[in-house]
Amino acid sequence: MNIIDLKNNANKESDYAVALGNFDGLHIGHSILIKDMIDEGKKRGLKNSVLIFKNYTKSVVYNKNSEMLTSNEQKFILLEDMGIDTIYMMNFDKDMMHLSPEDFVKNILVDKMRIKLVAVGFNYSFGYKAQGKGDLLAKLGNKYNFDVKILPPVYKDGLIVSSTLIKDLIREGNISKANSFLGRPFSMAGKVIYGKRRGSSLGFPTANMERKINFVVPKNGVYETSTIVGDKEYKSLTNIGSNPTFNNNNITIETYILNFNENIYGKEITVNFLRYLREEKKFSTKEELIIQMHKDVNMVKSD
Ligand SMILES: Cc1cc2nc3c(=O)[nH]c(=O)nc-3n(C[C@H](O)[C@H](O)[C@H](O)COP(=O)(O)O)c2cc1C
Ligand SMILES: Nc1ncnc2c1ncn2[C@@H]1O[C@H](COP(=O)(O)OP(=O)(O)O)[C@@H](O)[C@H]1O
């Protein structure tokens, strides 16, 4: 798989099919769209690609740091697994934001990327103030000689699968449902930082994570997770919250890794969220918390 930054490069090699979108989460709806683009591209003898903005378009448009489901690194791995030939990267900045729909199509898709097929979802919009919709894309396809495929919404359990819905489910702690919409566990990557150094004394050292990007955070509570350290995956338990037993006030994301005993401060870990187990509680003594933590471990050991 190639990754091409369109800032200083253009594709001169071959004609391409492309899927367009933010693809935050690369959920089951995104996968269907991308697989369809790959298949349709193959029929036409085209290479396949996705165009990804380095930064989240909504964050630029609304000038805020929006919460996200996936980092670009995670997207690259997932897209490579799907069989994508090329990822085109672009910086979404104020100039880009002000491009008219037609200029976006002509300057980027046609001139820089040699696109012959564009696949988008039913609610895709593009160009300044998101003025361009599917019908305009189809017209521009006629003008600039590329095919356009607009995919209908993908439903699951009677709901349209969307990144916004999945983020809301995660915020509510409904991890199982969020994961069924994602098609894999929601996962967060980040560096292990120092905490209060209390975990080891409780018999449960916890790796405190600093999120690598502004990942959406599940509601406070204890979760069954798995944790990737280096190239190994371990069973784990993750507590999100303010440790009310100890009257902390900031929210931490901390993971106790089973059958593990290494110093991993400063290392990057990935935590996959599998299941919500219980609320974070205020215990009257630390001994009671320790008893509960043993019960938590038994919950995930037994299956
Ligand atoms: C499985 C698990 C369950 C936890 N449950 C609670 C809880 O219910 N209430 C609470 O106050 N803290 C809970 N904690 C957080 C501990 O209080 C925390 O790990 C400890 O204070 C260590 O913090 P440190 O990493 O800053 O040293 C839990 C931690 C783990 C790993
Ligand atoms: N099984 C384990 N799970 C998580 N971290 C572990 C484990 N074994 C050793 N560690 C190490 O111990 C650190 C956590 O110890 P802890 O006493 O909770 O300190 P802190 O408050 O700094 O997180 C982790 O950051 C990691 O480097």
Q: DSSP letter string over the chain?
A: -EEEETTT----S--EEEEES--TT--HHHHHHHHHHHHHHHHTT-EEEEEEESS-HHHHHTTS---BS--HHHHHHHHHHHT-SEEEEE---HHHHT--HHHIIIIIIIIIT-EEEEEEETT--BSGGG-B-HHHHHHHHHHHT-EEEEEPPPEETTEE--HHHHHHHHHTT-HHHHHHHHTS-EEEEEEEE---S-HHHHT---EEEEESS-B--PPSEEEEEEEEETTEEEEEEEEEE--GGGT--S-EEEEEETT-----TT-EEEEEEEEEEE-----SSHHHHHHHHHHHHHHHH--
Residue 236 Cβ contacting ligand 2 at under 6 Å:
no
Residues 118 and 15: their CA atoms lie apart, in Å, by 12
C-alpha 243 – ligand 1 centre gap (Å): 6
**Atom of ligand 1 at shortest distance to CA of 199?**
22
Ligand 2 binding pocket includes 195 (Cβ within 6 Å): yes
Which pLDDT value is given to residue 62? 65
Nearest bound ligand to CA 192?
A: 2
**What CA dihedral angle connects 136, 139, 141 and 145, to 10 degrees?**
-160
CATH superfamily of 187-301: Riboflavin kinase-like (2.40.30.30)
- Quote the pLDDT of residue 73: 93
What CATH code is assigned to 2-159?
3.40.50.620
Give the ligand 1 atom nearest the CA of 197.
Answer: 27
Q: Do domains 2-159 and 187-301 have the same CATH topology?
A: no
Pocket test for ligand 1, best of 201, 204, 271 (most atoms within 8 A of CB): 204
Q: How far apart are CA 49 and CA 6, in angstroms?
A: 13
Atom of ligand 1 nearest to the CA of 280: 8
Can you give the residue ranges of every domain in the chain?
A: 2-159, 187-301
Q: Which ligand is nearest to the CA of 265?
A: 2
Q: Which residue pairs, CB below 8 angstroms and at least 24 apart, start in 134-142?
A: 136/101, 137/101, 137/105, 140/101, 140/102, 140/105, 140/106
If you measure from the C-alpha of residue 250 to the centroid of ligand 2, how many angstroms do you get, rounded to a whole number? 18
Structure tokens at 92: 């979404």
pLDDT confidence of residue 53 = 85
Q: What are phi and psi of 276, to 5 degrees?
A: -80, 130
Per-residue pLDDT of the chain (303 residues; tens, 9 = 90+): 999 988 887 777 789 999 999 899 999 999 999 999 999 999 999 999 999 887 766 665 666 778 999 999 999 999 999 999 999 998 878 777 888 999 999 999 999 999 999 999 999 988 887 888 999 999 999 999 999 999 999 999 999 999 999 999 999 999 999 999 999 999 999 999 999 999 999 999 999 999 999 999 999 999 999 999 999 999 999 999 999 999 888 999 999 999 999 999 999 999 999 999 999 999 999 999 999 999 999 999 865
* Ligand 1 pocket list (CB less than 6 A): 195-199, 202, 204, 206, 208, 222, 237, 239, 243-246, 254, 256, 280-281, 289, 293, 296
ipTM of model? 0.96
Mutate to test the pocket of ligand 1, among 200, 245, 291 (most ligand atoms within 8 A of CB): 245
Q: What's the CA-to-centroid distance between 263 and ligand 2, angstroms?
A: 7
Please tell me if the CB atom of residue 194 comes closer than 6 angstroms to any atom of ligand 2. yes
The residue to mutate among 193, 253, 264, 271, having the most atoms of ligand 2 within 8 angstroms of its beta carbon, is 264
* Ligand 2 proximity of 196 Cβ (cutoff 6 Å): yes
The CA 195 to ligand 2 mean position distance, Å, reads 9
